[in-house]
Chain A
């Protein structure tokens, strides 16, 4: 079996496993099957990346030759994102067991089935080379995600889920309209084919409208300011594990889709000219960085604080894209990867606190530095990464982002990036101060350290934050290859 034939299985394995999962009773087997499927996916994705970096892989489903049939077309860009998604699922699942047992005590079979559907959907979006197929997988993952969020124990989770459903559907519809326009103009849905046929018809308002629809639609799924309104509530009220997984993957995949359309389907020398895309993305990115960090500094709920921080971090990625250079795109891809690591670690640490204390409000963190030193130290270290301290993964992505801004002489951007980093210090610091410098109130329950099954995966992610801050061969290499693939129109053979 060649790697090209193996590659589609990273989508198929979770898809099939989800059917099995839905039928499994109890608490152990659904989780075990999910874990096995996620690990299998991750291994396949890990094998795919080096091969895809060499040459573009193409797999025709049902042996229908593209562009007639559905094609999976994988270059460095989507292999990189696929590895991130599958890898995050595999790493966070060992942590999930305890947390999910507590927060979702019943019907775990369905829960994990939905999770696998979301995973399969995200991987499908990433790997597929067919525009309509991307839409279908987007809906699969989105619908599964709405369900997952609604599993949150707080009743407000239902409202958050419903709100996300409405906004997410609007986003997906925009994408579908955009794809429809493209189909009307070219008669094809295959991305590679589209990129070849579009130049003939691209000076029409239909194609320009298609680009705008796709960007707005994906901007919604990406939580780009001001389309981020669904995200804070969804992240806050979803079960901890769902938040961990979504924070690490869902917005990243949406960003990938946006990049794929803007850069390979439409070619950057057209899409950045026909629309003032660079300016718009830059303004929205910077606004997201600021607004997200600013609001995060005042959130009493730490999960919500991290959610707003995610809005800010998405801003960094969008800013990297807006610079339209190899370094800028590399920064965006690096941050896409590194932010997944840091935010997942942070959400896991907070999830561990929720497991022990039952709440993520800042008052509940008081004095925890003494009683839960391992959990809170993990939080602090992952916080260093989000601030961008040297030797952490966050530093690497900020380094590239600043370098990209400097390359274009954008001084103001450098200052803005640094100011928002300082704002990150403030919001991370609030937690550290509560945990280490405040005493627990007498009426607050005393808690001990969390179980090892929660601590070990959290620390593995924290360690990865430092590992990828020191050994950057995989991340910088992968991100550079991804950026080059996109800028050179990577779908071309």
Chain B
């Protein structure tokens, strides 16, 4: 049993929001603002851990906050996938806070009160999505997340940032309002409920055609999952300062997207019902196509952040594929990939930002020999890359393992082949930067010598890289947590005290 106090879920979700309000009030006062960012991220982390402890101890925690319309409530409930998402985003927020402070100060950005306030709101929204007990609550926080990240993407305020941010918001709002909202209302009209339930709520309630259409609406309505052709917002959002790209566009926002996909697959459709739908294979192959196509695009990108962005599009598709394979192992693999890719990709983005802060370089072709000047950063980049590719000794291998095993279970040989091919492509776009940095000489005229980014930037990226290594050994806990979905936990006692 955890020693931490156990708060109500809604209280936990409110922590970042209250933090954001205080940070906004602190505004230009630097010490106060940064102190509050620390306090809210750590408090939030502890609160989530408190919930996790109670959850692992087997308590059922749910809370109904407010009934907006008859039958339509704001409600929260803890369940395995959501708990994993909440735990991941709260952990990474604590690590991202020093990075964001170090990065934003090193590059001399203005309007930091607004920046850190929106950052905190985004995390609160992610927590709300993670703990939501029904589609409506989830939708509310999903929209808060879209809107609150807009100022972060447009932070620099120049023409390019505005253009990127506009694409970002337009795509996310258009898909969620245009597709997800009608799908949600349709589900409500058909079933009379929006609550997440084990095994889904749709089976037997709507015609097969309606179910098939609903699946397409939900999959594309979750624009944050970046399924092609609605992935454009992710590369566009790379105009944001790197801490935003790292925490939000590698972790909170995109993970919210795939989390919604998982959640809808598991609790609205139910895996058994999902397999019956005629469109599930269509969406599956679209996701597999996204996985490969985005990798191919990534290889052609010279801008490091753009390459990472397309890599994210590709990796998100893994998780969507995991959900749509509609077998238990693949769903677990998808959930685990959410965690593993979160740690791996945030490391890579942290590194990209650290490289930019230390040397001003943004293109991969400029990285020659930089590994000698920034050994720590590139070592971390290497580990993060291994995790995203899915090689030992990083956690990434386990999620891909389960995804491939799930594809085998489902009898989708083509998907297995796609996974393998995509892994090769991952190597093709993630390792060249490392190779250039370590094996090529520095260009003429650049002085060698140790020149890392500020410590506030370097330590977080080392910690997240370390995290991917730890996850290699700790993956069983994540598996057990998710296995709880299907009563698969191998040894429940072993995870009671993480």
Contacts and interface: CB of A to CB of B under 8 A. Distances in A.
A391 B157 contact: no
Nearest to A396: B69
A421 B69 contact: no
A489 interface: no
B293 interface: no
Scoring B136, B139, B173 by chain A CB atoms within 10 A of each residue's CB, the highest score goes to B173
B362 to A, nearest CB: 24
Interface residues on B, range: 20 to 34
A437 B154 CA distance: 10
A421 B180 CA distance: 14
Contact of B139 (A390, A396, A414, A415): A390
A422 B189 contact: no
B178 interface: yes
A391 B181 CA distance: 14
A418 B69 contact: no
A265 to B, nearest CB: 31
A447 interface: no
Interface string A392-433: 000010010011001100000011001101100100000001
Contacts of A476: 69-70
Given A390-B139, A418-B178, A437-B157, A472 B68 contact: yes
B185 interface: yes
Nearest to B185: A402
Name the residue among B173, B181, B186 with the largest chain A CB count within 10 angstroms: B181
A390 B140 contact: yes
B174 A407 contact: no
Given A399-B69, A425-B173, A418 B188 contact: no
B168 to A, nearest CB: 13
B162 A437 contact: yes
A6 interface: no
A433 B165 CA distance: 12
Interface string B45-75: 0000000000000000000001011100000
A418 B177 contact: yes
A452 interface: no
A389 interface: yes
B74 to A, nearest CB: 8
Contacts of A402: 181-182, 185
Contact of A419 (B70, B154, B157, B178): B178
A122 B136 CA distance: 38
Contact of A418 (B68, B157, B182): B182
Contacts of B66: 470
B182 A414 contact: yes
B472 to A, nearest CB: 40
A472 B182 contact: no
A421 B176 CA distance: 12
A406 B162 contact: no
Interface of B is mostly: helix
Given A390-B143, A402-B182, A421-B177, A472 B189 contact: no
A431 B68 CA distance: 30
B182 A399 contact: no
Nearest to A472: B69
Contact of A399 (B157, B174, B185): B185
Interface string B114-158: 000000000000000000000010011001000100000010010
Give the dominant DSSP class at A's interface: helix
A391 B68 CA distance: 9
A425 B70 CA distance: 28
A421 B177 CA distance: 8
B174 A406 contact: no
Contacts of B140: 390-391
A390 B174 CA distance: 14
A469 B154 CA distance: 28
B68 A403 contact: no
Contacts of A469: 68
B178 A470 contact: no
A407 B182 contact: no
Contacts of A399: 69, 185
A470 B73 CA distance: 10
A383 B230 CA distance: 26
A431 B241 CA distance: 25
Given A396-B69, A407-B189, A418 B162 contact: no
A419 B96 CA distance: 38
Nearest to B170: A425
B181 A418 contact: yes
B68 A470 contact: yes
Contacts of B70: 476
A439 B68 CA distance: 40
A309 to B, nearest CB: 17
A403 B189 contact: yes
A433 B174 CA distance: 18
A403 B154 CA distance: 36
A389 B139 CA distance: 10
A406 B189 contact: yes
B68 A422 contact: no
A406 B185 CA distance: 8
Contacts of B177: 388, 418, 421-422, 425
Interface string B163-177: 000000000011001
A422 B174 CA distance: 7
A102 B69 CA distance: 42
Given A389-B143, A399-B69, A472-B68, A422 B188 contact: no
Contacts of B157: 437
A190 B173 CA distance: 50
B189 to A, nearest CB: 5
Contacts of B181: 402, 418
Nearest to B181: A418
Contacts of A406: 185-186, 189
Nearest to A437: B162
Contacts of B154: 437
B178 A403 contact: no
Contacts of B185: 399, 402-403, 406, 414
A433 B188 CA distance: 35
Nearest to A425: B173
Contacts of B182: 402, 414-415, 418
Nearest to A387: B177
A433 B166 CA distance: 10
Contacts of B189: 403, 406-407
Contact of B188 (A391, A403, A425, A470): A403
Contacts of B136: 390
A431 to B, nearest CB: 15
Q: Which 5 pairs from chain A and chain B are nearest by CB? A: A390-B140, A406-B189, A402-B185, A418-B178, A414-B182
Given A421-B177, A422-B177, 6 more contacts: A389-B143, A396-B68, A396-B69, A406-B186, A425-B177, A437-B162
22 contacts: A388-B177, A391-B140, A396-B68, A396-B69, A402-B181, A402-B182, A402-B185, A403-B189, A406-B185, A406-B186, A406-B189, A407-B189, A414-B182, A418-B178, A418-B181, A419-B178, A422-B173, A422-B174, A422-B177, A425-B173, A472-B69, A476-B69
Interface of A: 388-391, 396, 399, 402-403, 406-407, 414-415, 418-419, 421-422, 425, 433, 437, 469-472, 476
